[in-house]
Amino acid sequence: MLLTAGGGFACPADARCASAGHFWEVFHIQSSVNGIFAIVFLISTAALLFLDPDGFLSALLKGGEKAATLSLSLLAVYCVWLGFFKVMEQSGLSQKLARLLFPAAKKLFRSQNKEAVYYASCNLTANFLGLPGAPTPLGIKAAEKFCAAREHYGADMLFVLNATSLQLLPTTVIALRLAYGSANSVDIFLPTLLATLFSTLLGGILVFLTRKRS
Amino acid sequence: MKYLALIVPLLFLALFVYALIKRVKLYDCFTDGIKEAIPLLCSLFPYLAAMLMLSELFEASGLAAKLTSLLAPAFRFLGIPPEIAKLVLLKPFSGSGSTALLSEIFSLYGADSYIARCACVAYGSSETVFYISAVYFAGTKRKNLAKPIVIALFSNFCAVILGCFLCRFI
């Protein structure tokens, strides 16, 4: 996925999907990022107080500067790929691929719930293609439908497939390498693909093996 | 490996020809997509900046070197270069944070080095597990998420080991 998980925090659109009653569940998991940030920041600062107090501000400024340059490279990446994906969406290619996946998805998620499987197969396609931002809302919809139908197997499978990454072409990585002067930026395509196929397969098999038998 | 460079241009060519057949207004549509780039970057920028500042601070305090050397034996045993330990640890929590770390590894070791290639695979083969679990299950009544989360983390870690192994040959 190019960007779905970009923020590390839920974007406003995602937050709207979480109803108010479940606020604490989101907070609980997201607080892990907040916790890590606070702990690492405080410990590092404390260590710097003894070692090199002058280094504190310069480290922060250096971080900000790096963020500025990285943002420019990322902006270039997004321009190219967001344009590409818009064309893909408008030409109807993304929807076509999702429809092709539907029969296989029904077996994969062991579900009779048409709506859930439809959203799930759209989610898978968006993942494969690395459509930025697209898999998340589709995945949320699918997970909701699976859970409402009490099909936890489908929901678990969907989550594990998403969390182990399904992207076929790591667009961000390739473009970032190019920006940092790589001579052959595409050569990580094959190892990444094999590794991510492996993780996805392993995750899927583990979900299958640990399912509740009924 | 020369043919791999053909993937991206061929993808564009195939899509644009297909779009033209479907009578999509190519220029309008392409620019429409680009329009979303700046809002996207703006939504990401604060997290990138905060994480990079934190990472610099962590580095300057000498704690990063300590953590890396602490984990080095275990990572080396598994064939993962210890230099990417931070990235592997951060990835499940923060996507933009790991993007920041990835770019740092590129500028430190060079984008074509073995370490950078391992970092690419580690970055590209996994997702932000905790973020996805929070967002996907937020609207449902699902309580016990331990099993799927453990499965996802375990699979992703295995993929990093495999990826670093593959990077030696491919």
Of the residues A25, A49, A119, the best mutation for testing chain B's interface (the one with the most B CB atoms within 10 Å of its CB) is: A25
Average pLDDT over every residue of A75-101: 85
Average pLDDT, chain B: 87
Is pLDDT at A159 greater than 90 in this prediction?
yes
Q: ipTM of this predicted complex?
A: 0.78
Whether B99 and A176 lie within 8 Å, measured CB to CB: yes
A7-11, A74-78, A156-160, B128-132: range with lowest mean pLDDT: A7-11
Q: Crossing angle for the helix pair A152-163 and A135-148, nearest 10 degrees?
A: 160
Query: A131 versus B132: which is more confidently predicted?
Result: B132
At residue B4, the pLDDT reads 64
> How many cross-chain Cβ pairs, A to B, lie less than 8 Å apart?
374
* Look-up of token digits 């996994």: B126
Amino acid at B155: S
Can you tell me the distance from the alpha carbon of B100 to that of B95, in angstroms, rounded to the nearest whole number? Answer: 9
Whether B52 and A207 lie within 8 Å, measured CB to CB: no
Q: Crossing angle for the helix pair B146-167 and A152-163, nearest 10 degrees?
A: 30
Whether A66 and B139 lie within 8 Å, measured CB to CB: no
Q: Which of B108, B130, B99, B126 is nearest to A192 (CA)?
A: B126
Which residues from chain A sit within 8 angstroms of residue B41, using beta carbons?
71, 74-75, 78
Average pLDDT over every residue of A73-91: 85
- pLDDT-derived band at A34 (thresholds 50, 70, 90) equals confident
Does the pTM exceed 0.90? no
Residue in chain A lying closest to B139 (CA):
A18
Contact B161, B79 (CB under 8 A): yes
Is pLDDT at A214 greater than 60 in this prediction?
no
Average pLDDT over every residue of A104-120: 89
Is pLDDT at B119 greater than 80 in this prediction?
yes
B60, B124, B152 ranked by CB distance to A196: nearest: B124
Is pLDDT at A15 greater than 50 in this prediction?
no
- Phi, psi at B10, each rounded to 5°: -65, -40
Can you tell me the distance from the alpha carbon of A131 to that of A74, in angstroms, rounded to the nearest whole number? Answer: 15
Buried b (16+ CB within 10 A) or exposed e, A18-52: beeebeebbeebbeebeebbeebbeebbebbeeee
A3-7, A25-29, B43-47, B98-102: range with lowest mean pLDDT: A3-7
B63, B103, B163 ranked by CB distance to A192: nearest: B163
Residue in chain A lying closest to B4 (CA):
A186
Q: Which of B10, B64, B8, B132 is nearest to A166 (CA)?
A: B132
Query: A155 versus B5: which is more confidently predicted?
Result: A155
Buried b (16+ CB within 10 A) or exposed e, A96-120: ebbeebbeebbebbebebeebbbbb
- pLDDT-derived band at B29 (thresholds 50, 70, 90) equals very high
Can you tell me the distance from the alpha carbon of A140 to that of A136, in angstroms, rounded to the nearest whole number? Answer: 6
A87, A156, A202 ranked by CB distance to B19: nearest: A87
- pLDDT-derived band at A175 (thresholds 50, 70, 90) equals confident
Which residues from chain B sit within 8 angstroms of residue A22, using beta carbons?
138-141
A93, A176, A203 ranked by CB distance to B103: nearest: A176
Whether B136 and A170 lie within 8 Å, measured CB to CB: no
Average pLDDT over every residue of B116-135: 87
Whether A83 and B136 lie within 8 Å, measured CB to CB: no
Q: Minimal Cα–Cα distance from A75 to chain B, Å?
A: 6
Give the per-residue SS3 of chain B: CHHHHHHHHHHHHHHHHHHHHCCCCHHHHHHHHHHCHHHHHHHHHHHHHHHHHHHHHHHHCCHHHHHHHHHHHHHHHCCCCHHHHHHHHHCCCCHHHHHHHHHHHHHHHCCCCHHHHHHHHHHHCCCCHHHHHHHHCCCCCCCCCHHHHHHHHHHHHHHHHHHHHHHCCC
A64, A78, A160 ranked by CB distance to B152: nearest: A160
Can you tell me the distance from the alpha carbon of B100 to that of B90, in angstroms, rounded to the nearest whole number? Answer: 11
Query: A3 versus A35: which is more confidently predicted?
Result: A35
- Phi, psi at B53, each rounded to 5°: -60, -45
B120 touches chain A (CB under 8 A): yes
- pLDDT-derived band at A24 (thresholds 50, 70, 90) equals very low
A207-211, B78-82, B132-136: range with lowest mean pLDDT: B132-136
Contact B116, B164 (CB under 8 A): no
- pLDDT-derived band at A213 (thresholds 50, 70, 90) equals low
pLDDT 10s digits, B50-63? 888 888 888 888 88
Q: Crossing angle for the helix pair A152-163 and A189-209, nearest 10 degrees?
A: 160
At residue B169, the pLDDT reads 85
